[in-house]
Structure 1
Amino acid sequence: MERLTPREPPGHPHQREASACWRLTVRVLEARGLGWTDVLSEADPYVVLQMPTAPGIKFKTKTVTNSSHPVWNESFSFLIQRQVKNVLELSVYDEDSVTEDDACFKFLYDISEVLPGKLLRKTFSLRPQGQEELDVEFLMEKTSDRPENLITNNVLVARELSCLDIRLESMGSTAVVSNQENLELELVLKGSYEDTQTSALGTASAFCFHYMVAQEAELSGRLKSSKGNGWNSGSSAGHFTVPLKPLTMEKEMTIDIPATNAPGVRLQLKAKGCPEELAVRLGFDLCAEEKAFLSRRKQVVAKALKKALQLDRDLQEDEVPIVGIMATGGGARAMTSLYGHLLALKKLGLLDCVTYFSGISGATWTMAQLYGDPEWSQKDLEGPIRHAREHLAKSKLEAFSPERLASYRRELELRAEEGHPTTFVDLWALVLESMLHDQVMDQKLSGQRAALEQGQNPLPLYLSLNVKENNLETLDFKEWVEFSPYEVGFLKYGAFVPSELFGSEFFMGQLMKRLPESRICFLEGIWSNIFSLNLLDAWYDLTSSSDTWRQHIKDKIRNLEDPPASLKTSSWLEALWLQPGTALAQAFKGFLTGRLLYQHSSNFLQGLQLHQDYCNQKAFSTWADSQLDSTPGQLTPQEPQLCLVDAGYFLNTSYPSMFRPGRRLDLILSFDYSLSSPFEMLQQTEVYCRGLGLPFPHVEPSPQDQRQPKECHLFSDPTCPDAPVLLHFPLVNASFKDHSAPGVQRDPTELLAGQVDLTGATSPYSLFNMTYKEEDFDRLLQLSDYNVRKSQDAILQALRTVLKHQAPAARLPGAQS
């Protein structure tokens, strides 16, 4: 293998490699102990072989009838790339002439165990579950074809693509062409992005297929009547297959379609290379646009810190600490409280000290509204607050009026015509927009870049979870997906696309079909999708405590620290749900884990393959908290669509965004909007982060603080310099009930304004309440504003602490020479 560029450490941009392909020959020998029987006979077994990294290729042995000890001795070959994780799937079926063939068991085999040039015989066994065994031989040999060009970040691999252009030509007479107008040509290229395309004969037609250069692909075609008479009769007439390996790049090849009722019809085939640059960015580092933003923002932050802390000199760029806001979810309660917190920071002159601004669920409603104005943090917030107050106080029935429902239907139909999959969550997004704004807000995520051009605002970060649609609960499979005005991407895989391309269709990192960028309301529907809970999630929420959650996460992390059996043995059985006699269990599991209401988005990872060493990459394992991470065939690159839900289903926080390489924060302002357990989210985050090796301060509130939380709590870890200082602001009414402003005691006529009901049972701020009385909105806003202003000294002291760490030479007022 020839490496085109030096290997770069994790976190750096992707690397390019030229790597030869190999020929893997698999010989299925025999099976023993197949004890399952049909009604009238023993099993009629056959074996199916396929490999996700060799798409479109599936082999099947002959069927051996009435045998518990079938002998096949059949050989099959795959062209493989050893730089990717190749897992062979060996499925044994029992053929049935009446019903669907029974899937008896499936073995998954990591072929990295097969050494080049050495014959390896392997026996796959169901023991101790059963006595069934399957004998297979493997041989790996190098091919003489040219090396394949790869792009990789050591977790994902983009393989070289070819584009096959096809022109349909008709050379017959006018009468023949007229007759051909009743025929359609279907072309199929398995494993390609397009897979199947159809066009009527008698018209000028062009086709295009994108497929891997190293794929041993075949183009197949057949004719059918466009009048509904079915496929062209005859066993071979109108059917053809063309191997694509003999095609020479950039040279045309002509083939005639063998059909008597379509004489003179031919295809012109021409293969050409695809662009070398990817539309998907593979890399764990920050994008160039964010790095440029950081430089601009640090200039703003430096001036704000000099003023707030009364520094005697200007700070240099490398001395500026990174401060982030982390806002939890909580529906309209989170939206309202966040306005109050931001209002206080603005009054204190501290909002310009913040570089990152992250949130989930209801907090994103505030963020999306604010970033519609490129200068929002440089103005007072009265306008946005007045807008929120007005629309929270109004009746929500108008959002469900016949006129509004009709407008939702029209927009969803238009969205479908553009190519976006539409689900109930898209309807929820439109209803939410109507409730919060009472009009169509023509804003897009990429449009928020205008708010960052001069570094005039913090960088907003939104977070969601990608989960399994219908076979796992959220705790068992979850992947963080980050949204920013610059990019949308997976933290775990190090794969990102420009925000305006999210929702478009990709294959092997190349942009295949660009769709119009969604309005931001549809993203808010993702970020605050409260309808995707499956029954197992709901049952867990009802029956578990915070201690149960922590123990569950510790168990998951402990399991991740121990290599799974699949990695120890290189071969393993797929889930036992595939074993005979478990159809009822399979259906019941699907009932428990299915998500009826979720958001579908095109998967921009589609086609990309996992690197052979992906599991050992620190950048991947930092986020690897899924039991499927050692099973590449079940990870997201193999999925046609993403299933995105509210991040609060797992952890009501956006902390993962704060721990990306290049984004290490010095101080985090944590705004928690839960009505109970004011430290639970923080303690869960500590368990999660520490279990994955991420620096995080110890969260150990005193018994007194547990009983009576204060407006602000400081957590830090002096023994761990990489851990951020944490200022935590729970939603509490500690002294606001007695004070109209910090240090200003309420007189008896003002006491009612300090009564903010934050109890779960009677509070007007419950999660599902979307309509507030104006006085309730005002009280919650003022409470949040007060709690931050009351904590001014704590915030300034925390800023001094992190500044001393970043800039020890900076002179602070009162410091000695």
Structure 2
Amino acid sequence: MGLEQQEREKEKGLRNVGCASSHTRHGAPNGLIKNVFDIHSECAETILSSLLTIKVLQAKNIGSGDMVTHADCYVRLWIPSATDRIFVTKTVSNTDVPFWGETFEFKIYNRIKNILHLSLIDEDVITKDDHLYTIYFDVGKLPFEETIVKSFALNQEGNEELELEFRRTKISESPENIITNGVLVSRELSCLEVNIDKQKSAKVFKDNEELVLTVTASCTKKKTSTLSSDSTPVDNFLFHTVKNWDPELTATLDESKFPAVTIGRDDVDNGGHDNMLTLPLNLLPLGEKVNVALHTEMDKKLEFEVKVNDCPEHLDMRLGFDLCQEEKDYLQKRKVFVARALKAALGLSRDLQEHEVPVIAVSATGGGARAMTSLYGTLSGLRKMNLLDTVSYITGASGSTWCMSKLYEDADWSKTDLARPIEDARKHMVESKTSAFSWDRLKYYYNEMEERSKEGHPGSFTDLWGLVIESMFYDRRYEGTLSDQQQAVNQGQNPLPLYLAMNVKDVEKSTLEFKEWCEFSPYEVGLIKYGAFIRSQHFDSEFFMGRVMKPLKESRICYLQGLWSNVFSVNLLDAWFAATNSENFWSEWTREPLSEIDDDEMMLKKRPASLSTRVLASSGMLSDTLRGVLTNRPLAGENHNFLNGFQIHEKYHKTKAFSAWKDTELDLFPDQLTPSSDKLCLVDSAYYINASFPPLLREERKVDIILSFDYGLGDKFKSVEETCNYCNKQGIEFPKVSLKDEDKESPKECYVFAKPEDTNAPIVLHFPLVNDTFKQYKAPGLERTPEEMEDGNVPLCGKGSPYRLLNMTYDEPAFNKLVNLNEYNVMNSQDAILEAFRLVMDRKASVRT
């Protein structure tokens, strides 16, 4: 029985996976959205707590940070996985052998990676305190019920030391349930509700006097209520906290004037002490409303109501490295189309069995309007060969995503020729882009970004670039979203689109030092390395510990287009400021490109292989200043971090899926990884490798063939070579890219890279953007007449080339030539494509037998 017949037999039994509209509200006070994902690789564990006692003893031979006087040292201690409180010793003045003898206690938890941040600081009265050293020590190494004295060498010479005493003892308390995928850990949460009747308070307090509420260990640290009779009559605040961090609520009318006073259980109903109220939340009965009162020096009393609830255990995201159920269902449906197309293309006399159907993908690079135009030609060529239905995935980065996101407005775009979408792209490419930068459009952009900010989106200059893209390539304000593209794949009728971006550190790390791949599909957005995925409609909503804290309206697709291609907005920033002085600048900018980035060279930096105790010494003011200049990304896409609050599992670095995607030395500093950040800093993948391979290299997708289309004008093999080097360093299966000198000098239309001895590595067919035989042939095997020779003249390079990166306007002949060239190049390589199909199918047949 062939695959198509099998599908017909079981069609009625297929489960219909719910989409966003099937989500229901949970009755919990935090308004969480119920998760309908299947959770893969996620498991429940219990964790136990222990008491870590640290005694800071002494330091030896400490030099002063200012090089003038002896050091005035103090020590700062923090375990981010245990508390948000930072402990500080007293300052011991004017000595290079300070002794403290102070003791501090931390409640820590097994199953979580607990790193002690131990900083030695030289206090300065006039200037900023000098950071001398920071030690990162994994306290999980410490044994139970033993007193351990450790001396940490602070410099390579070993003459500067810091000595501490450790003791770890077990605590008898109920274990805590956690959810983990072996990398991320989600803890139990509590939700504090605070209700303030402002009409009552208005009778006692002056208008516009403010009550400041602060909750330790909360994702929302502070809320302010303006006590005014003209404002909202009741203020309702929610604070979500890590339950076992012993959170406290502090309420004050002047947070800087009075010290905190902690009240006992008997004080709760009777008010508190003057000026400030500090309430340990674990003293409150669960699920019951309690009235508390804040007394002031002026003998006034402010009453308000509090209640603590447990948060639901389920998460609003998927933890796991497997594919989501929707994508699995899609692949099953897509196999029917692929099997039918392969049978016809290869002239097979029988239907294919399910195990014989390969997973074939198209991977496109960036390159602005050139990449967008070229991808239209590539897909048109595949469609004319009746091979588009053999493709299960299309991945894109930067400019190629503009083509993809336009195509997926049509739920059946791949079922007909692409004449209509190509005509639409032609119309917009030949139009002047000056109108996109008129003063009216600038005002529109400003108002749109203001409204977006009011909705709760962080906002960045990348949003402006997204609006500019919409103005350049759409006839109207387009309301479509990424999740809307589910309609184009829900029956398996088109390849599944995957869009790529990189998460980086905003200021303190360069792309070479820190990068994490972030993939976008109509179903999910996820950070591959962590095995953490949210529904695409939840991207940019506020999360904490895997729960939605504040759901936001899904962003229109233009904002994602701006994010995926924000390498171009570097030049837009200059244009923005110049526009305040000269409207003509916009016209000049749209005609003449400012720079070319296709030939940027990047090299991977080696990283240590194991986790150990580390010491960070001060780099000095000059080094810090230069580093800021070199690594600052003022235009990075800033979005709410859906990993916010997660903690790191104690064995995270041993998890295979995480280790396969190590890209940074910070992997050895778990408290500095993405879960510790409030925001994601998403950039165009062209900042590192101008390619879109990473989503296809996930082991779970089992991609057999990658049709790689490089639309760069510089090194024709740079994207595939850099990907090969990257995979070798990461331990990811990828064929060896071997090239001869003549390949570099005179590249052809198609190259096949395969690893015959390794059936797990995909076969890669690489298509550089070249004008080779197209000069003589208008179609495969059909020579040009003398009158048609000009149509084969495609000026890809040189100063007169219209295809430079920042050129967003082509004339009609230039557009047509680029589309036709890419269409021809893929069609002229049909034999190589079909031979790769046969090779993979033979592989699958041999493995099965």
- TM normalised by structure 2 equals 0.87
Q: Where do 1:226-245 residues align within 5 Å?
A: 237-245=274-282
Q: Is residue 599–residue 714 contact of structure 2 (8 Å, CA) maintained in 1?
A: no
Counterpart of 1:196 in structure 2: which amino acid? K
Look up the SS of the partner of 1:573 in the other structure. strand
- Tell me how far apart the structure 2 counterparts of residues 488 and 162 of structure 1 sit (CA, whole Å): 27
Is 1:193 aligned to 2:208, yes or no? no
Displacement, 1:17? 0.7
Displacement, 1:38? 6.5
Distance 1:37-1:703 versus aligned 2 partners, 3 A rule: closer
Is 1:216 aligned to 2:242, yes or no? no
- Tell me how far apart the structure 1 counterparts of residues 418 and 811 of structure 2 sit (CA, whole Å): 20
The aligned counterpart of 1:813 is none
Distance 1:482-1:262 versus aligned 2 partners, 3 A rule: farther
Distance 1:593-1:723 versus aligned 2 partners, 3 A rule: same
Q: Where do 1:143-542 residues align within 5 Å?
A: 143-168=171-196, 177-179=203-205, 181=207, 183-201=209-227, 203-224=233-254, 237-261=274-298, 263-531=300-568
- Tell me how far apart the structure 2 counterparts of residues 34 and 499 of structure 1 sit (CA, whole Å): 53
Per-residue CA deviation, residues 656-697 of structure 1 (Å, 9 max, x unaligned), is 111113201111111111123222221221111122221111
Q: Is residue 345–residue 789 contact of structure 1 (8 Å, CA) maintained in 2?
A: yes
- Tell me how far apart the structure 2 counterparts of residues 38 and 796 of structure 1 sit (CA, whole Å): 70
Look up the SS of the partner of 2:665 in the other structure. coil
The aligned counterpart of 1:572 is 614
Per-residue CA deviation, residues 456-488 of structure 1 (Å, 9 max, x unaligned), is 000000001111111222111111000111111
- Tell me how far apart the structure 2 counterparts of residues 262 and 532 of structure 1 sit (CA, whole Å): 57
Is 1:714 aligned to 2:742, yes or no? no
Per-residue CA deviation, residues 396-427 of structure 1 (Å, 9 max, x unaligned), is 11111111111111111110110112221111
Look up the SS of the partner of 2:643 in the other structure. coil
Look up the SS of the partner of 2:253 in the other structure. strand
- Tell me how far apart the structure 2 counterparts of residues 545 and 728 of structure 1 sit (CA, whole Å): 18
Per-residue CA deviation, residues 243-282 of structure 1 (Å, 9 max, x unaligned), is 2233342244443313254644334332211111111211
Distance 1:754-1:240 versus aligned 2 partners, 3 A rule: same
Per-residue CA deviation, residues 504-560 of structure 1 (Å, 9 max, x unaligned), is 1111111100111111111111111115779xxxxxx999989x75xx33x52xx34
Counterpart of 1:572 in structure 2: which amino acid? R
Per-residue CA deviation, residues 92-149 of structure 1 (Å, 9 max, x unaligned), is 2223333333322221111111111111111122132573321111111222221111
The aligned counterpart of 2:640 is 602
Is 1:634 aligned to 2:678, yes or no? no
Per-residue CA deviation, residues 341-369 of structure 1 (Å, 9 max, x unaligned), is 11111111110010011010111010010
- Tell me how far apart the structure 2 counterparts of residues 182 and 326 of structure 1 sit (CA, whole Å): 58
Per-residue CA deviation, residues 19-50 of structure 1 (Å, 9 max, x unaligned), is 11111111111222223176985332221111
Look up the SS of the partner of 2:818 in the other structure. helix
Per-residue CA deviation, residues 754-788 of structure 1 (Å, 9 max, x unaligned), is 11112244321111111101001101111111111
Q: Is residue 286–residue 661 contact of structure 1 (8 Å, CA) maintained in 2?
A: no
Out of 769, 773, 796, which is 1:735 matched to?
773
Counterpart of 1:396 in structure 2: which amino acid? K
Distance 1:659-1:761 versus aligned 2 partners, 3 A rule: same
Look up the SS of the partner of 1:245 in the other structure. helix
- Tell me how far apart the structure 1 counterparts of residues 217 and 277 of structure 2 sit (CA, whole Å): 18
Q: Is residue 79–residue 116 contact of structure 2 (8 Å, CA) maintained in 1?
A: yes
- Tell me how far apart the structure 2 counterparts of residues 345 and 257 of structure 1 sit (CA, whole Å): 72
The aligned counterpart of 1:815 is none
- Tell me how far apart the structure 1 counterparts of residues 714 and 93 of structure 2 sit (CA, whole Å): 65
- Tell me how far apart the structure 1 counterparts of residues 767 and 123 of structure 2 sit (CA, whole Å): 64
- Tell me how far apart the structure 1 counterparts of residues 66 and 509 of structure 2 sit (CA, whole Å): 32
- Tell me how far apart the structure 1 counterparts of residues 779 and 470 of structure 2 sit (CA, whole Å): 34
Out of 57, 68, 71, which is 2:96 matched to?
68
- Tell me how far apart the structure 2 counterparts of residues 542 and 393 of structure 1 sit (CA, whole Å): 21
Displacement, 1:231? 5.7
- Tell me how far apart the structure 2 counterparts of residues 183 and 325 of structure 1 sit (CA, whole Å): 61
Q: Is residue 62–residue 72 contact of structure 1 (8 Å, CA) maintained in 2?
A: yes
- Tell me how far apart the structure 2 counterparts of residues 455 and 495 of structure 1 sit (CA, whole Å): 25
Displacement, 1:707? 2.8
Q: Which deviates more from structure 2 when the two are superposed, residues 688-697 or residues 120-129?
A: 120-129
- Tell me how far apart the structure 1 counterparts of residues 461 and 299 of structure 2 sit (CA, whole Å): 46
Distance 1:807-1:627 versus aligned 2 partners, 3 A rule: same
Q: Which deviates more from structure 2 when the two are superposed, residues 189-198 or residues 265-274?
A: 265-274
Distance 1:249-1:294 versus aligned 2 partners, 3 A rule: same
Is 1:779 aligned to 2:821, yes or no? no
- Tell me how far apart the structure 2 counterparts of residues 783 and 19 of structure 1 sit (CA, whole Å): 60
Look up the SS of the partner of 1:624 in the other structure. coil
Structure 2 residues without counterparts, runs of 5 or longer: 1-38, 262-272, 572-594
- Tell me how far apart the structure 2 counterparts of residues 256 and 343 of structure 1 sit (CA, whole Å): 71
Counterpart of 1:803 in structure 2: which amino acid? M
Displacement, 1:180? 5.6
Q: Which deviates more from structure 2 when the two are superposed, residues 268-277 or residues 605-614?
A: 268-277
Look up the SS of the partner of 1:477 in the other structure. coil
Counterpart of 2:101 in structure 1: which amino acid? N
* Percent identity for Structure 1 against Structure 2: 45
Distance 1:667-1:233 versus aligned 2 partners, 3 A rule: closer
Is 1:31 aligned to 2:59, yes or no? yes
- Tell me how far apart the structure 1 counterparts of residues 196 and 166 of structure 2 sit (CA, whole Å): 42
Look up the SS of the partner of 1:448 in the other structure. helix
- Tell me how far apart the structure 2 counterparts of residues 410 and 417 of structure 1 sit (CA, whole Å): 11
- Tell me how far apart the structure 2 counterparts of residues 343 and 319 of structure 1 sit (CA, whole Å): 26
Per-residue CA deviation, residues 298-350 of structure 1 (Å, 9 max, x unaligned), is 11111111222222222232321100001111111111111111111111111
Per-residue CA deviation, residues 26-76 of structure 1 (Å, 9 max, x unaligned), is 111122222317698533222111111123212111222333222221111
- Tell me how far apart the structure 1 counterparts of residues 210 and 713 of structure 2 sit (CA, whole Å): 63
Q: Is residue 374–residue 451 contact of structure 1 (8 Å, CA) maintained in 2?
A: yes
Distance 1:109-1:652 versus aligned 2 partners, 3 A rule: same
Q: Is residue 52–residue 107 contact of structure 2 (8 Å, CA) maintained in 1?
A: yes
Distance 1:218-1:132 versus aligned 2 partners, 3 A rule: farther
The aligned counterpart of 1:141 is 169
Counterpart of 2:443 in structure 1: which amino acid? A
Distance 1:326-1:213 versus aligned 2 partners, 3 A rule: same
- Tell me how far apart the structure 2 counterparts of residues 678 and 375 of structure 1 sit (CA, whole Å): 33
Q: Is residue 532–residue 645 contact of structure 1 (8 Å, CA) maintained in 2?
A: no
Displacement, 1:155? 0.8
- Tell me how far apart the structure 2 counterparts of residues 283 and 37 of structure 1 sit (CA, whole Å): 46
Distance 1:129-1:434 versus aligned 2 partners, 3 A rule: farther
Q: Is residue 343–residue 785 contact of structure 1 (8 Å, CA) maintained in 2?
A: yes
Distance 1:301-1:171 versus aligned 2 partners, 3 A rule: closer
Out of 646, 649, 653, which is 1:615 matched to?
653
- Tell me how far apart the structure 1 counterparts of residues 59 and 744 of structure 2 sit (CA, whole Å): 63
Q: Is residue 170–residue 264 contact of structure 1 (8 Å, CA) maintained in 2?
A: no
Q: Is residue 666–residue 723 contact of structure 1 (8 Å, CA) maintained in 2?
A: yes
- Tell me how far apart the structure 2 counterparts of residues 264 and 191 of structure 1 sit (CA, whole Å): 27
What is the count of residue pairs matched by the alignment? 773
Q: Which deviates more from structure 2 when the two are superposed, residues 470-479 or residues 335-344?
A: 470-479
